[in-house]
Structure 1
Amino acid sequence: MRNVGPGERPETDMVSTDGQLESPSSRTVLLIDDNPAVSRAMEIAFRMAGHRLETATGPEEAFSRLAQRRYDAILLDMNFTPAESSGEQGLACLARIIADDPAACVVVITAHSGIRIAVAAMKAGARDFAMKPWRNAELIAKVDAAIARSMPAHPQPCPSPALQAGQPPEPARLLGDSPAMHALRDLLRRVGPTPVGVTITGGAGSGRTLTALAIHAASAQADTTPLRIDLRDEAAWARLDQARGTAILRHPDRLGDVAQARLLDCIPPGLRCIAIAHSIAPLDPALRRRLATVEIAVPPLADRQDDAVLLARHFARVAAERFGRPDGRLTPAAAAAIRAATWPDAVRGLALAVERAVLLSEDGVVDAAALALPSPTAAGTSTAASEANFDLSDAERVMIEAALREHRHNVTHAAAALGLSRGALYRRMARYGL
């Protein structure tokens, strides 16, 4: 240990959350690989080198983990299904990682004959590649070197308190594989790097704030923390006086004409504004020009196909980590119920239901009964009511079929999973001809 001067702290080893000693230079690495044996071996090797390795078995889990934290490096296998060797799966995953975070440090892993794939990955933004089979020491050295190349040679001072404390900005990744979400991400990548004013519209709980943060993360001010102001609180407007960089302004559509004119006068020149509103229709034309040069509508969860199930798995994993529960796993019946349900408060409502189910489960398994599915909203007209009943019947049939398949047509077990008595389930089976 070097000698330390007055006021300095000695550079001692640190103890990690799992009791292992970590050096001050330890790194956290994400491995994306579907082979459990490889994952176990590499976890040991990286731990012996003083690093922490977390594993994702495929792209869906990887994007879930990347949405929760930033990793110093990402080790990416290029194939995730048996007998697949084209590398297309890995290249698609790499493209999404780099598009979401151009600064991501990715090292790809390819078969010995996969030099073509490795070259394509390097052109797509990977920092280095390793060929199978590898020596652990050489692989770790490649990762360390890639991380070192990714770090700025002369860090610039940053006004953000979080960044001054050494904490990188929180990741802002939009999860979802539906066409609507692919289109949204593509739009954000085009608009984000520009200084244009953007207003994000959509329903409450649909992910408008996360979308705003994703736009900021794609901008030139990504290394700063954006100013956030709820415009319904007039006392908060004073923070606009010296604002620089980016400001996220909530609810400009809730202001009257006079307040909108005052807001326009309060916004400093050069401030990049990202507004969050239900609609841009109530905005005065002058304010709309300043805040909504581009309107980005966040798609409702109902228009996102199977994204609800993907998001539920993400929320289950996060809740399991947060509450110290076993890994949250959705049963087929639960997945079918999530897919068929209409969630009040959209994504936020789904997250609440899944978190509660994981917390209350004994073994981390989330079944349909544990989700406390929302009741259908009462309809205002007889026609709407009949349509709602028809939709509810379709959803109920799907849930029952999934529960019966899951429990191999054991009616007692399926009824318990659905929160029904055996008699009630038999009546519903008769109704739907099951």
Structure 2
Amino acid sequence: MSSGNILIVDDNRSILTALELLLSSEFDHVECLTNPNRITSFLEKYPCNLVLLDMNFKTGANTGNEGIYWLQQIKAKYPHISVVMITAYGDVELAVKALKTGATDFVLKPWDNTKLLATVKAAVQLSQSRKEVKALKQREKDLKSGLRAPQKHIIGSSPQIMQVLNLVRKVAKTDTNILITGENGTGKELIAREIHRLSHRKDEMLISVDMGAISETLFESELFGHVKGAFTDAKEDRAGKFEIANHGTLFLDEIGNLPLHLQAKLLTALQNRQVTRVGSNHPVPVDIRLISATNCNLPALVKEGLFREDLLYRINTIHIEVPPLRDRGDDILALANFFLKKYTAKYHKPHLKINHQAEEKLLRYQWPGNIRELEHSIEKAVILSESNILKPNDFFLKPVTGIGHAMIAPPLNLEEMEKHLILTALDKYPSNITAAAEQLGITRQTLYNKMKKYNIK
């Protein structure tokens, strides 16, 4: 038996019966229609590889105009479907007109069963090939888009980040589902990309989806795809993110932001490893490696009834916690210099350097926005710099008294405490020594003396 779905359209029921008996033993599904007006609505619900279409439907008609009309309608909406025309009139000009309009082939009544089967099988294979070519072209387009995306690297050698990378290397070779957690800006997507890079799927696509940015109305279309005409703006068939990621990795970022009623649909797709495009009844199998990420406390959301417990178990076979930047020590300077190199090249300031006092300031800061905040701070300092040396006052950092629920412990040493208070005041008034002195309750000269004592510039 050959694979393929066939629709036969003819107003003669004896013709339909004969063709259905002949073809049903050779193909997966054979459906029949006597009314051509039902063709479009039928094809919207049931995908076909081939339509066997009569040329004439009105009694006594032999012009073939009705057949040509419906041929045009089918090819306009479903160009990949093969259409084989059937007529009792062996008019060569009519045959040529049908072929020019888009028909795959042309058969005459009465037909030879062997020849008709050969014609139908060739037309079905052509339809399947067109569909495969279209899918390959879409995949090529997506691959090129992915290749054009800038490649980023994980910077740092602190024990905290090395522990994460060691875990990444262990789990990358498997297909187990991974949940990456951490504060905003810690580099969760970079960890996901590193897992993909080290996996056996590295030559396939990594598709990233921001679950918090997908509107509820487009959720199914974005993830599972849609067929042409499924809704107002569905002007062509489109694969969803699951299909595009087939044989590769699907990265669901900000999964904690997914509304509860959509979590069930995601869970079903993950459990069944298949998706159904919007407007279609045909499930499509998918082979993906799933990586999810969130800055939310998912177990807490489960307790509050805001996140499905069964979905959490499905995505959380391995849990990777990405440390905040404030816990990574000298990685702060390594990242700062990496971003400095990037932005001095971008803004044509190749001789810019960060002095020692500025480095100390960067190390002391708690970075509530993590790596993303550090990058923005470096870029801003490079843009506004007026000399080749970046000093503490070139970095405008927000005073932070607490991170999350934990307060930052002040220095215990009296001199360190005094130095800390001076630096905090200078951070608040980076270009106004008088205002900083007033904040501290000392004179301007006293502040200068203490800045000299503590080597603050």
Question: TM-score of the superposition, structure 2-length normalised?
Answer: 0.50
The residue that corresponds to 1:248 in the other structure is: 251
SS at match of 2:252: strand
- Bigger Cα Rg: 2
The residue that corresponds to 1:348 in the other structure is: 372
C-alpha distance in 2 between matches for 1:255 and 1:220 = 29
Out of 199, 224, 229, which is 1:219 matched to? Answer: 199
The residue that corresponds to 1:173 in the other structure is: 153
C-alpha distance in 1 between matches for 2:223 and 2:383 = 41
Count of matched residue positions in the alignment of Structure 1 and Structure 2: 263
- 1:140-159 equivalence runs, <5 A: 159=139
Once the two structures are superposed, residues 331-368 of structure 1 have per-residue CA deviations (whole angstroms, 9 ceiling, x without a partner) of: 00010000111113111111111111011113342111
The residue that corresponds to 1:332 in the other structure is: 356
Deviates more, 1:187-196 or 1:263-272: 263-272
Once the two structures are superposed, residues 99-148 of structure 1 have per-residue CA deviations (whole angstroms, 9 ceiling, x without a partner) of: xxxxxxxxxxxxxxxxxxxxxxxxxxxxxxxxxxxxxxxxxxxxxxxxxx
Answer yes or no: is the 8 Å Cα contact 2:298–2:312 preserved in 1: yes
Q: How far off is 1:255 after superposition? A: 3.1
The residue that corresponds to 2:314 in the other structure is: 290
Answer yes or no: is the 8 Å Cα contact 1:176–1:307 preserved in 2: yes
- Does residue 303 of the first structure (1) align with residue 327 of the second (2)? yes
The residue that corresponds to 2:117 in the other structure is: none
Cα gap change, 1:159 to 1:297, in 2 (>3 Å)? same
Answer yes or no: is the 8 Å Cα contact 1:162–1:169 preserved in 2: no
- 1:24-423 equivalence runs, <5 A: 159-161=139-141, 163-164=143-144, 167=147, 170-232=150-212, 233=214, 234=216, 235-241=218-224, 242-243=243-244, 244=246, 245-267=248-270, 269=273, 270-278=287-295, 279-281=297-299, 282=301, 283-377=307-401, 387=409, 394=416, 397=419, 420=433, 423=445
Q: How far off is 1:252 after superposition? A: 1.9
SS at match of 1:203: coil
Q: How far off is 1:427 after superposition? A: 5.6
Q: How far off is 1:254 after superposition? A: 2.4
Answer yes or no: is the 8 Å Cα contact 2:263–2:308 preserved in 1: yes
C-alpha distance in 2 between matches for 1:249 and 1:391 = 46
Q: How far off is 1:272 after superposition? A: 1.3
The residue that corresponds to 1:139 in the other structure is: none
Q: How far off is 1:432 after superposition? A: 7.0
1:240 aligned partner, one-letter code: L
- Compare relative contact order (CA 8 Å, sep 6+) and give the higher one, 1 or 2: 2
2:176 aligned partner, one-letter code: V
Cα gap change, 1:160 to 1:179, in 2 (>3 Å)? farther
C-alpha distance in 2 between matches for 1:251 and 1:380 = 19
SS at match of 1:228: strand
C-alpha distance in 2 between matches for 1:224 and 1:300 = 30
C-alpha distance in 1 between matches for 2:326 and 2:416 = 15
Cα gap change, 1:290 to 1:393, in 2 (>3 Å)? farther
Question: TM-score of the superposition, structure 1-length normalised?
Answer: 0.52
Structure 2 stretches of 5 or more lacking a match? 1-135, 225-242, 274-286, 302-306, 424-428, 435-443
C-alpha distance in 2 between matches for 1:380 and 1:258 = 29
RMSD: 3.9
2:447 aligned partner, one-letter code: L
C-alpha distance in 2 between matches for 1:333 and 1:184 = 30
The residue that corresponds to 2:447 in the other structure is: 425
C-alpha distance in 2 between matches for 1:309 and 1:261 = 44
Once the two structures are superposed, residues 72-122 of structure 1 have per-residue CA deviations (whole angstroms, 9 ceiling, x without a partner) of: xxxxxxxxxxxxxxxxxxxxxxxxxxxxxxxxxxxxxxxxxxxxxxxxxxx
Answer yes or no: is the 8 Å Cα contact 2:186–2:322 preserved in 1: yes
1:356 aligned partner, one-letter code: K
Answer yes or no: is the 8 Å Cα contact 2:173–2:200 preserved in 1: yes
C-alpha distance in 2 between matches for 1:299 and 1:384 = 17
C-alpha distance in 1 between matches for 2:176 and 2:358 = 42
C-alpha distance in 2 between matches for 1:250 and 1:309 = 27
Answer yes or no: is the 8 Å Cα contact 2:256–2:294 preserved in 1: yes
Cα gap change, 1:164 to 1:344, in 2 (>3 Å)? closer
C-alpha distance in 2 between matches for 1:194 and 1:378 = 39
Answer yes or no: is the 8 Å Cα contact 1:189–1:218 preserved in 2: yes
